[in-house]
Amino acid sequence: MASNSDAPLDDLMMAMDVVDTLRHEEGQVARELKSDERDAAMVERLRQVYASQGIDVPDHILKAGVEDLKRDRFVYSPPAAGFQRTLAMIYISRGTWSKWLAAAFAVVIVCIAAWYFIVKLPAQRAEADLLARLQALPATYSELVGRIDTLTENTDIEATAERLATDGNLALSDGNNEAAFKAEADLRDLVGRLQEVFEVRIISREGVPTGVSRIPESNPDTENYYIVVEAVDPDGKILDRKIVSEESSEAELVDKWGQRVSETIYNAVRRDKMEDGIVQKGVLGQKRRGELDIKWRSGVQDGAITKW
């Protein structure tokens, strides 16, 4: 008898069918017969099965099928569990887990990019901007002091500018950034105030009172007088001014306010307006370039109100 490896394909296929049939018949045969009778009984049972189907199977194929059944030939046995089997299963399932891995990797990349552009990059730019501003402050102090010297000949104002610059440089050397920037802001504010030029004019248009009076709660025996005014620059633009009200002690940014005056000025302005409805002497004070304070007409007092 030839070896199984050299058997014709038809014989091999028949042997596989025999083994498959045996598996269905083996349980019944095993229950009915002893071990030494089982092989012969299986061969006989197979012969009958195939004969009933009109198939003539040679005895050598039937016997070979019984032997193959004993050796579990043509039976799939899964590989034993182990590291190699685990690697094989991972490789086989790569089509599934690789998609999830790619998606997770993409999410991580997006999160890292978002963190960099939303958090890290702005922080780096802010830090770089802060460093650049700090490094430029000494030159900024010098430039602002020079502008102040150009704007005014008032030695007190010039001394104030020098003091602010010195304080700023000391704050820089001490690492006090807040104080250093405050010195810069104070110098810029000083420059802005020195550059201002405007007139404080009495308002004499419809809908706005020219003057008001108040009896303060703290001193009911006294009456305070106020002329309603506005600041107007050389181009005729009405300016906003930060005014501290003596009634509320709060600073407000307003485009008109009541300036406290003596009773003499108050009555003079009232008479002036009553003559023709227009205040002829409408300028109550002047703010000149290079000066910090308004130069008021005689009789103007300290104090103002923002509501009436």
The reported pLDDT for the residue numbered 173 is 94
* Mean per-residue pLDDT, 163-175: 96
The rounded mean pLDDT for the chain is 85
237 Cβ partners below 8 Å, 6+ apart? none
Model confidence at 4, in pLDDT bands (50, 70, 90)? very low
The reported pLDDT for the residue numbered 258 is 97
The reported pLDDT for the residue numbered 32 is 44
Residue 240 per-residue DSSP state = P
The reported pLDDT for the residue numbered 26 is 53
Beta bridge partners of 226: 212, 260
Structure tokens at 75: 């039976």
Q: What is the pTM of this model?
A: 0.58
More confident site: 43 or 236 = 236
C-alpha to C-alpha distances, 53 to 41, 48, 50, nearest whole angstrom: 19, 9, 5
Q: What is the tens place of the pLDDT at every residue in 147-160?
A: 999 999 999 999 99
Beta bridge partners of 201: 230, 283
**What Rg do the C-alpha atoms of the chain give, in angstroms?**
53
3-class SS of residue 197: coil
Using the predicted structure, report yes or no on whether residue 5 has a pLDDT greater than 70: no
* Mean per-residue pLDDT, 244-263: 95
Write down the residue that tokens 């690697």 correspond to: 87
Which amino acid is residue 225, in one-letter code?
Answer: Y
* Mean per-residue pLDDT, 38-45: 75
144 Cβ partners below 8 Å, 6+ apart? 161, 165, 184, 187, 188, 190, 191
Beta bridge partners of 214: 224
Q: 97 near 70, Cβ under 8 Å?
A: no
CA distance 214 to 217: 9
* Mean per-residue pLDDT, 213-228: 91
| Phi-psi map region of 281: left, alpha, beta (phi>0 left; psi -120 to 50 alpha) | beta
Per residue in 4-43, is it b (16+ CB within 10 Å) or e — as a string?
A: eeebeeebeebbebbbebbeeebeebeeeeeeeebbebbb
Q: 228 near 210, Cβ under 8 Å?
A: yes
CA distance 183 to 178: 9
149 Cβ partners below 8 Å, 6+ apart? 158, 161
CA-wise closest residue to 296 among 307, 283, 285:
285
Model confidence at 59, in pLDDT bands (50, 70, 90)? confident
Using the predicted structure, report yes or no on whether residue 30 has a pLDDT greater than 60: no
Q: 180 near 138, Cβ under 8 Å?
A: no
β 211-214/283-287 pair status: unpaired
Q: What is the tens place of the pLDDT at every residue in 184-201?
A: 999 999 999 999 999 999
3-class SS of residue 264: helix
The mean-pLDDT minimum among 34-43, 114-123, 170-179 falls in 34-43
The mean-pLDDT minimum among 4-18, 82-96, 168-182, 234-248 falls in 4-18
The mean-pLDDT minimum among 19-33, 99-113, 188-202 falls in 19-33
Using the predicted structure, report yes or no on whether residue 216 has a pLDDT greater than 80: yes
Q: 261 near 301, Cβ under 8 Å?
A: yes
Q: What angle separates helix 59-70 from helix 35-52, to the nearest 10 degrees? A: 130
Number of other residues whose CB lies within 10 A of the CB of residue 295: 11
